[in-house]
Amino acid sequence: MVLATVPFAFLAGLLRSRVAGASAVSELVARLGESGGSRGSLRDALADALADPSLQLAYWLPESGEYVDADGRPFDLPSAAAGRICTPVESNGSRVAVIVHDESLETERELVQAAGAAASLRLENERLDAELRARVEELRASRTRIVESSDAARRRIERDLHDGAQQRLVSLALSLRTLRPRLERDPEALRELDDARDQLDQGLGELRELARGIHPSVLSDRGLEAALEGLAQRAPLPVELTACPRGRLPDQVESAAYFVVAEALTNVAKYARASRARVNVTHENGGVLVEIADDGVGGADPSRGTGLRGLRDRLAAVDGALEIDSRRDRGTIVRATIPSR
């Protein structure tokens, strides 16, 4: 008698499971219709419908042939050995996404597939959003690589100038000095020699300035503080370095901060008619804040000239930002924020 009731119990359990599954899918459809479309709401709705808090979504990008998460970052599908199952979702015969869920749902694949089918339109929309974010992320990474490559090239050129042409000119200057005692009886030759030495010293100075403009060796060797102190000392007006982080910062951060200060001080010297300037570099909100202020005439226009636009591009490549406050007759404040990552 007990054995005879087993098939009925099995069928009743199966029926309850089917009814519960259909109810879950119906609730999912209703929830998707009511929810706004904020990022994460679809994942949460599917996780609740399938009773799997660990549920994840990955979106297929056909052009790159990879899966990404909702932020557009690459997503590596887990293996079954990790206790995770990947159920694909298609729309109009094309792959859209996968639902990554706990292996406990392996026996309810039909429910997972039904939930995926019910959410396929939203999944397609989120896939397009993820694809856009992936392209933006790739663009940002590409700009970062360009800046890193440019900085590496600057360092190579600076080393070549320092170790090559500059050393040869220094050697030539020493040779000319050794010739002077031999020409003391010939005043005309002595004047020509002294003139040649003056021109050589001037050329060496220009070469050193060129090397510093390309990439200062002191920045690589001794860090940002020493490099900014050098900028302040060479400026044609008094410049006060009021604060600078101790120790080394990431290369990208130091390079970006240095060139922001260098370009800002160049603009102060050329256009501001200022009597003094102040440079302040501090840690703020997990990043670095660079401020250059002067007491000049103000009225700086970031849209004119290539210097400030170039700085915006350099900062954008490291997720930084540039802000300029330059009211007429109130001086100028150049403010750069650089993530310290």
CATH code of the domain in which 232 resides: 3.30.565.10
Instruction: Specify whether 128 is located in the same domain as 229.
Output: no
Q: Which residues of 227-251 are buried (b: 16+ CB within 10 A; e: fewer)?
A: bbbbbbeebebebebeebbeeebee
> Is residue 187 included in any domain, yes or no?
no
Distance CA 106, CA 102 (A): 8
- For residue 20, the model assigns a pLDDT of 45
19-28, 270-279, 301-310: range with highest mean pLDDT: 270-279
Q: Tell me, yes or no, whether 207 lies in a domain.
A: no
| CA atoms of 124 and 155, how far apart (whole Å) | 46
Residue 229 sits in the same domain as residue 134: no
Please check whether residues 128 and 232 belong to one and the same domain: no
Domain extent at residue 248: 223-341
Mean pLDDT of the chain: 79
pLDDT range class, residue 17, cuts 50, 70, 90: very low
Strand 239-243 relative to strand 287-294, pairing: unpaired
Is pLDDT at 30 greater than 70 in this prediction? Answer: no
Does residue 198 sit within a domain? no
Q: Is residue 288 part of a domain?
A: yes
Could you say which of 138, 154, 170 is where a domain stops? 138
In the sheet that 84-91 helps form, which strands lie side by side, from edge to edge? Answer: 66-68, 56-61, 94-102, 84-91
Q: Read off the CATH number of the domain in which 86 is found.
A: 3.30.450
Is residue 162 in some structural domain?
A: no
The pLDDT of residue 179 is 74
What pLDDT, on a 0 to 100 scale, did the predictor assign at position 277?
A: 95
Task: Looking at the structure, tell me whether residues 116 and 240 fall in a common domain.
Answer: no
Asked if the structure places residue 328 within a domain, the reply is yes
Instruction: Using the predicted structure, report yes or no on whether residue 244 has a pLDDT greater than 90.
Output: yes
Do both 132 and 248 map to the same domain? no
pLDDT of residue 220: 80
Q: What pLDDT sits at residue 75?
A: 92
pLDDT for 8 beyond 60? no
* Tens digit of each residue's pLDDT (9 = 90 or more) over 79-111: 777 888 899 988 888 889 999 999 888 888 888
Residue 204 has pLDDT above 90, yes or no: no
**Burial readout 281-303 (b: 16 or more C-beta within 10 A, e: otherwise):** beeeeebbbbbbbbbbbbebeee
Residues 130 and 228 in one domain: no
Domain endpoint, select from 138, 163, 191: 138
CA distance 120 to 27: 15
- Domain end residue (candidates: 138, 159, 182): 138
In a domain, 212, yes or no: no
14 and 133 belong to one structural domain: yes
Domain total of the chain: 2
Question: Which amino acid appears at position 51 of this protein?
Answer: A
pLDDT value, residue 312: 80
Per-residue pLDDT tens over the stretch 248-262: 888 888 888 998 998
Residue 40 exposure: Cα atoms within 13 Å on the Cβ side: 3
In a domain, 203, yes or no: no
